[in-house]
Amino acid sequence: MPLDIPAFYLANHRLIALLMLALLLASSEIGYRLGLAKEGAPDSLRTLMSGTGAAVLGILGLLLGFALSMAIGRWDARREVIVDESNAIGTLSLRAGLLEDPLRDQLREALVAYSGARIELGGSRSRPDALRKARLESEALHVVIWSVVESANRPNTANATLASLISSANELIDLHELRLASIENHLPPALFVLLLAMGTLAVAFLAWSFGSASHRGRIPMLLLALLIGAVLLLIMDVNRPQRGMISVGVAPLERVANGLLEPTD
């Protein structure tokens, strides 16, 4: 079964960025022109429109703060899973040294292949087929790793050694599902629609106030639209572990994989 990743997070991020910025800039221009058409409107109406825009902008700022905090929390969780996974691979590799050949070499060879699959799982950005391949390869290697642990259940294997191997293998396998769940854990796309809608409304109301007050400069409204768009793009990018420019990274797994490939005496 493929991972449950919303289509919104698989779409071209450049296209989404252009659409968001275009919508915000268009709302600024439309609001400004409508305000110019109402030039000379009563002060009470201008106060009402500017106050409404400021209120919407305040709520938007609060929601943007919460959304960014939630996105960063998910990013941190994905990072922690990768660190835990690299530690689990390294621990199981060390405990493989308690076994005798050929089980020791079989387990370490399986862990070398497994670390490569986990690196590929994190590097399969924007490639659903590669993501699925890495997941299936990881699950196949779970069977290999567990079969080696089962083979270690021999009369000459100490109970403490066998218990440590079982514990490490269990942790390794459990982290697989946790890693997949962290990839699937996104902010709801509807939240971005709401934030974008509130941003366009806030910019339109404030631009109307500028136009109705005969302020000929559009630069403040354009800067506000660009700022809101930049924050939205940042939240979306942090929340897209498989597509975003701000990636979680797999450096801990790469270090473990390099350590497994180093010759041991």
pLDDT digit string, tens, across residues 113-134: 999 999 888 765 556 777 788 8
Interhelix angle 103-123/128-151, rounded to 10 degrees, is: 160
Residue 214 gets the label, from left (phi > 0), alpha (psi -120 to 50) or beta, of: left
pLDDT-based confidence at residue 192 (cuts at 50, 70, 90): confident
Task: For residues 72 and 235, give the distance between their C-alpha atoms in angstroms, rounded to a whole number.
Answer: 8
pLDDT at 52: 84
pLDDT at 87: 94
Report residue 255 CA to chain centroid gap. 22
pLDDT-based confidence at residue 217 (cuts at 50, 70, 90): low
Q: What is the pTM of this model?
A: 0.81
**% of the chain beyond a pLDDT of 70:** 89
Q: Where are the domains of the chain?
A: 14-31+43-261
> Region 191-204: what's the mean pLDDT?
89
Which of 60-74, 136-150, 164-178, 211-225 shows the lowest per-residue confidence on average (mean pLDDT)?
211-225
Which of 11-25, 169-183, 196-210 shows the lowest per-residue confidence on average (mean pLDDT)?
11-25
pLDDT-based confidence at residue 250 (cuts at 50, 70, 90): confident
Average pLDDT, the chain: 84
Task: For residues 115 and 250, give the distance between their C-alpha atoms in angstroms, rounded to a whole number.
Answer: 10
pLDDT in tens, 8-57: 766 777 788 888 888 988 888 888 888 877 766 677 777 888 788 888 88
pLDDT-based confidence at residue 214 (cuts at 50, 70, 90): low
Please name the helix (run of DSSP H) or strand (run of DSSP E) that holds residue 173, with its range, or none: helix 159-184
pLDDT at 124: 59
pLDDT at 173: 92
pLDDT at 3: 61
Two tokens, residue 95: 């405990």
Please name the helix (run of DSSP H) or strand (run of DSSP E) that holds residue 150, with its range, or none: helix 128-151
Task: For residues 104 and 85, give the distance between their C-alpha atoms in angstroms, rounded to a whole number.
Answer: 20
pLDDT in tens, 87-114: 999 999 998 888 888 888 999 999 999 9
